[in-house]
Amino acid sequence: MADDISLDGRTLAGVANDDEGEVGADTRFHFEQTGDRIYASYSGGAVVDGHLVGTFDGDQWDIRYAQINADGETATGHSVGDVELLEDGRIRVEDEWKWESKPGSGESVLEEVLE
């Protein structure tokens, strides 16, 4: 059941992203969840340091993020992602994102990595 999905303690990585995005396969998101609130710190690849905060209803997240890239540029954005549990128990997120601090939007996919 989707309501049983928790992001708490899980690590996700980018598996696909549109060209205007900075998250890639080397980017790792480390999640915490309290009730319907989610938080993550992330870094790797083009992202030196990133943080997100949002809500998760068991099926979909709604988040805002702020990050700094390897060129020293800061950026902020918003995304809404559909969260699903894969057959092997890992999490997969299909995310639609939009930069708020600069032009650009797209779609990305994140999947849980077992570290």
Closest CA to 112 of 1, 7, 2, 13: 13
Range of the domain at 64: 2-112
Q: How confident is the model at residue 97 (pLDDT cuts 50, 70, 90)?
A: very high
How long is the chain? 115
pLDDT at 63 over 80: yes
Determine if the pTM surpasses 0.85. Answer: yes
pLDDT at 25 over 70: yes
pLDDT at 2 over 90: no
Work out how many domains the chain is built from and give that number.
1
Provide the CATH number for the domain around residue 32.
Answer: 2.40.128.30
Closest CA to 91 of 114, 63, 66, 68: 114
**The pLDDT of residue 16:** 92
